[in-house]
Amino acid sequence: MKIYINGKFYEKNEAKISVFDHGLLYGDGVFEGIRVYKRLVFKLEEHIDRLYESAHSIMLKIPLSKEQMIKTVIATLKENKLNDAYIRLLVTRGEGDLGLDPKKCIGKEAVIVIADKISLYPQRLYKEGMNIITVSTTRNAHEALNPQIKSLNYLNNIMAKIEATNCGYEEALMLNDSGYVAECTGDNIFIVKRNELYTPPECMGALSGVTRETVLGIAKSSKIPTHEHVFTRHELYIADECFLTGTAAEIIPVVKVDGRAIGTGKPGKLTVSLMKKFRELTKKEGVRY
């Protein structure tokens, strides 16, 4: 495996950054996860746009233009001779000192591109559906660290994931500080009620997921009513269907939440239909190389 770091490719065991990099010391940086399907980088431009938006929000200057970044991602895939892959694209604040001041890092920003395989959940869960549990760790408040910023500081999500795994679950549902449904540790959440689609709005603590936006687009083009609407766990429990979306997860059905069966307790018809339509999109939307 060859990993890109600041203009050069390194073997996996030689790919290193400074221990003084603020991305390591403080989680000061941004990232994107991107999927590749048969040499098609799915929604690459959308992912790049979000990366630069996150960086702008934290006043992190990315040393490459968007066009250069796209070429760098493609070059990394070609270097590793990958047709199907998961890309982890990171930009860190760079090397500084042991203080917090990001000004010490100006001009030392690091761009890292890793291309590898990923399998987030067992394949059987895509057919049978998964069980999830609500955890006590709430989603970051906008006033603390806006969830719209896809930063390297992922401790909030990790603490929720630890709660879930300690209880024997693959994924955790996170509420916001007002008790409304926000999202899961690495995925957005959708519910279906009377053949209409609902997902929490971004203001509730949900990341503006690229797969989330894709699903909303599929639904609208299929004339399925969609709503970005506030809802509680009660609305989730009595939903007809539920599923999660994410770059790594794609679309995965949820059949039980906090011990309550969702709908029939099996993946719903609308969920299965959206999964099929999403897979079709992965064959044609993105940048081919």
pLDDT band at 287 (very low <50, low <70, confident <90, very high): very high
How many residues comprise the chain? 289
Q: Which helix (H) or strand (E) holds 189?
A: strand 188-193
Residue 33 pLDDT exceeds 90: yes
Q: Which of 2, 43, 150, 161 is catalytic?
A: 150
Q: Could you read off the pLDDT of 2-17 as tens digits, one per residue? A: 999 999 999 999 999 9
Percent of the chain with pLDDT over 90: 99
Q: Is 61 a catalytic residue?
A: no
pLDDT band at 212 (very low <50, low <70, confident <90, very high): very high
Residue 93 pLDDT exceeds 90: yes
**Half-sphere exposure in the Cβ direction for 170 (13 Å, CA):** 20
Q: Could you read off the pLDDT of 118-138 as tens digits, one per residue? A: 888 999 999 999 999 999 999
Using alpha carbons only, how large is the chain's radius of gyration in Å? 19
Q: Where in the chain is the domain with CATH 3.20.10.10?
A: 124-281
Percent of the chain with pLDDT over 70: 100
| pTM assigned to the model | 0.96
Residue 158 pLDDT exceeds 90: yes
- For the structural domain made of 124-281, what CATH number should be given? 3.20.10.10
Mean pLDDT value of segment 261-281: 98
Average pLDDT across the chain, whole number: 97
Please report the pLDDT score of residue 120 as a whole number.
87
User: Bridge partners of 250?
Assistant: 246
Q: Could you read off the pLDDT of 173-186 as tens digits, one per residue? A: 999 999 999 999 99
The three-state secondary structure class of 241 is strand
Q: Where in the chain is the domain with CATH 3.30.470.10?
A: 2-116
Residue 25 pLDDT exceeds 90: yes
Fold of 2-116: D-amino Acid Aminotransferase; Chain A, domain 1 (3.30.470)
Residue 30 neighbours by CB under 8 Å, 6+ apart: 51, 54, 55, 58, 60, 90, 91, 149, 150, 151, 152
